[in-house]
Amino acid sequence: MCGMLSVQRVLSGELAHRRFLLRPPEPSAGLLLSPPSQSIYIGKTKFLHAPFFWNPEKLVNPHICVVGITGSGKSYFIKAFITRARIALGCGALILDWAGEYSDFVESAGGKVVRFGEGGINLLEPAGASPNARIAQVISALEILTDLQSFPSQRTATIEAMEKAYRLRGFSLTSCSRAKHAPSLRDVIPLLSRMKGGKEAARRLQNLLSSSRNSFCAPNINLDEIVSSELVSIDLHSLPTEALRSLAGLAILQFVKEKMRASECSRRKLPHLFVVVDEAWKIASDERSDVISIVREGRKYGFSLIVASQNPTDVHRSIFSNAGTAACFRLTLSSERDYVRSSLGYSEFFERESHSLSVGQALFHLEFSSPAPCPKTFLLEKVEGEDLLSYVRLRGGFVDLVFEKTELLRQLLSFGLSDRQSSAIISEFERRNNTLAAGELLLFLERLGHSRASSISLLRELGAKEQDIIRTLSSIQKGGSIPIELLDEGGNAHNAQPSARRGSMRGGKHA
């Protein structure tokens, strides 16, 4: 029986809402597709499912800014990206690791981990610069991280003592020399204490050296070797304060900048080194930082900077405006989303879509090197990468979180569980195909002696939404069992008391 067509009366407003002739807001395929040997595959776009290959030759520069809350996929993206950059483009990576979260990944990938505390650097090592330039860099770092600029007399005395220390070692303050043995801050302190009005400045430096466990006087970390290696993570988390970690990070970035400027301008358009700065809010938010200098100058020398943060407001607006790529994973606060939107200038449509991003989904913004009559902002369906490390999933009870197995194990230990108890939880994940219900985990923690409030705090810090936690608790109250056996040190099942090492569990970076 032949079908019949009928004509219907449709109002123009209703027709406009259907938009069946409009292209979804995504860049053209020509801008997203590139040869695999010249680009890095990221994933597929949300609407047209077009493969997105990151190609620095199509962008104004190779710098990347990554933001997103814990558990949104930010760290997984960075690890997948630098892994593929090594394979596809032959690029090295230098990671400034504030929290010690990249060590396992780097070691499993055959890279090198350099740990402060086991080694250190000399802040006054010229590293190819003149002593005057190095002094200016050290003073700038101290001004960013301390209140030195509020005490002009101390600042002047510190500069004069550093200059004298260099001259006593035979340095010319204006010429570059690597042959001589550079002075250290330990040499500066006695000179400073003998100067008029220099005792307070000397005490400032002495406190710095004492709290850093002399990590800034022992030059046993080879910076030249670090920059020339394929994959290196500099683990700063053993330094006791954020200011000391930032001082070490600034010193290393200063060396990278000098190394960059001393090299010839790169003729190849692809970067040869990615410098990853993750959660370094003190040095990413100050315009005087060398993070800004590398963003502005790095392209011509073959350097690419990847700046990542949970809070976009910790990243200076100059980084957003000068980075060729911005990857925005889930953000929960409207103030943070407003900051990103005002920096990148995308439409209301993307602002609404960004509210409901799930794990691995992201809003990408690209600044193309040539004008393109298409959107620069688009949604990625999911970051696709190899399982660089083993992952486990906390799912069910309205919670859905993904973690690196080693990172979850480390956080369980920090939470106060024994090695055997933490391993028992990981084993249960593995037995259940690396997936465990959130309610069962909460009940298990209560069996270990942790209070309900403590368990709720754990889920919050891991990135669970408040309404999801409430629903999970409601499902527990309706009844349920704990199919996990608590093991003692001998492997026997029993009911245990809470560990004496219990502490607060801080959210790490998860895939």
Q: Which of 412-421, 460-469, 482-491 has the lowest mean pLDDT?
A: 482-491
Would you call 367 exposed, middle or buried from its count of C-beta atoms within 10 A (0-12, 13-18, 19+)?
middle
Please tell me the number of Cα atoms within 13 Å of 68 on its side-chain side. 31
Residue located via tokens 């315009």? 287
Question: Among the CATH numbers 3.40.50.2300, 1.10.10.10, 3.10.20.30, 3.40.50.300, which is that of 29-120+222-383?
Answer: 3.40.50.300
- Looking at the chain, the domain(s) classified CATH 3.40.50.300 span 29-120+222-383
Measured CA distances, 486 to 148, 428, 451 (Å) = 53, 10, 17
Question: What pLDDT is attached to residue 490?
Answer: 37
Quote the CA–CA distance of 275 and 434 in Å, as a whole number. Answer: 32
Question: What pLDDT is attached to residue 6?
Answer: 66
Q: Is pTM, for the whole model, over 0.85?
A: no
Measured CA distances, 161 to 86, 154, 186, 432 (Å) = 44, 10, 11, 63
Question: pLDDT by residue (tens digit) across 14-67?
Answer: 655 555 556 788 999 889 999 988 899 999 999 999 999 999 999 999 999 999
Quote the CA–CA distance of 76 and 401 in Å, as a whole number. Answer: 13
Which tokens belong to 54? 């990151």
Mean pLDDT over the full length of the chain: 79
Question: What pLDDT is attached to residue 487?
Answer: 35
Q: Residue 134's closest CA among 177, 179, 186?
A: 177
How is residue 176 annotated by DSSP? -
Neighbours of 391 (CB within 10 A): 18
Give the pLDDT mean for 401-407: 74
How is residue 266 annotated by DSSP? P
